Amino acid sequence: MKIIINDLSMVYPNQNRALDCVSFEISEGLFGLLGPNGAGKSTLMRILVTLMKPTSGAVQIDGFDLQKNRKEIRAMLGYLPQDFSTFPKIKTWEFLDYSARLAGISNKKERIKRIDELLERVGLFDSREKLANKLSGGMKRRVGIAQALISDPKILIVDEPTTGLDPEERIRFRNLLTDMSKGERIIILSTHIVGDISSTCQDMALLNKGKLAFNGAPKELIEMAKEYTFQLEVDDNALQKIKQEYIVISTVPIASGWQVDIVAKKVMGFKAKQIEPNLEHAYVCFMELLN
């Protein structure tokens, strides 16, 4: 199964070009969609989940055209939007039940089994009778993923799922997604948090200002940043100078002053050593230096 995005553009009525001739393919597994705020990630997501019609271009999902075969595509989808919350006065299990029924699980027993299973999986079984909108942010997000998964969708699209979550919740969420990605399923994870992708995705795309900046495995992105990632140990005065001249990724205080990670094509006037970049280094290098 594949999602083929071809020359996709989206121009809003206010002439904001959110997507500009974007083309790439997404295969089964966990796919990361990375980019700064306003890069067009959410627009792309909303187009993919049939909430929005692109201005031009086409999307094929498992051979179905996104515009012509909404019914078939919707039947394959699971979606967790960025700010998910539920209606008031609905219990957790009731909301999932509604989602399950809409997803076509008409058999009551099957539905209950599925809901319980999912609640167990997202760790909310004990909260099943609680009103969904009274749950904490992380728990709500988990209800969201549960409803997205309720129909065991072939395509699961999650938009910024870890934003605002505490580290523990974030890790739990990542693991959950990794678990889900096993089998014939496409999971698209849109995020601006690099860590989410580095630890989970086999494949990714990088969007910037509506354009596709990179498409490939995270490893490839890291590989591209290898010769541009440096570490320096400097005192206070030098740090100020470095901040002015280079793209600083991290500064860590040490006994002699500061240990600074930077990306640069070349370091002049400072003693620097090349280091092994991670995805974060690669992302910054790619966005700020190479792009």
Supply the minimum distance, in Å, between the C-beta of residue 71 and other proteins. 5
Supply the minimum distance, in Å, between the C-beta of residue 51 and other proteins. 6
Supply the minimum distance, in Å, between the C-beta of residue 204 and other proteins. 23
Supply the minimum distance, in Å, between the C-beta of residue 289 and other proteins. 36
Using the minimum distance from each CB to other proteins, give the nearer residue, 90 or 193.
90
Six-digit token string for 180: 């889900």
| Residue 278: other Cβ atoms inside 10 A | 17
Supply the minimum distance, in Å, between the C-beta of residue 151 and other proteins. 8
**Amino acid letter for position 279:** L
The DSSP letter of residue 285 is I
Report the relative pairing of strands 56-61 and 247-254 from DSSP bridges. unpaired
Using the minimum distance from each CB to other proteins, give the nearer residue, 67 or 274.
67
Using the minimum distance from each CB to other proteins, give the nearer residue, 138 or 218.
138
Using the minimum distance from each CB to other proteins, give the nearer residue, 164 or 271.
164
Supply the minimum distance, in Å, between the C-beta of residue 46 and other proteins. 8
Read off φ and ψ for residue 66, nearest 5 degrees: -60, -35
Using the minimum distance from each CB to other proteins, give the nearer residue, 21 or 52.
52
The DSSP letter of residue 91 is B
Closest C-alpha among 8, 9, 26, 3 to residue 73: 3
Using the minimum distance from each CB to other proteins, give the nearer residue, 4 or 90.
90
Is 255 exposed, middle or buried (CB count within 10 Å of its CB: 0-12, 13-18, 19+)?
exposed
200 Cβ contact partners less than 8 Å away, ≥ 6 residues apart: 30, 32, 174, 177, 178, 181, 189
Six-digit token string for 7: 């020359």
CA angle in degrees (0–180, nearest 5) for 83-158-166: 60
**Contact residues for other proteins, defined by CB under 8 A:** 49-53, 70-71, 74-75, 77, 79-81, 83-87, 89-90, 94, 98-99, 101-104, 106, 144, 147-148
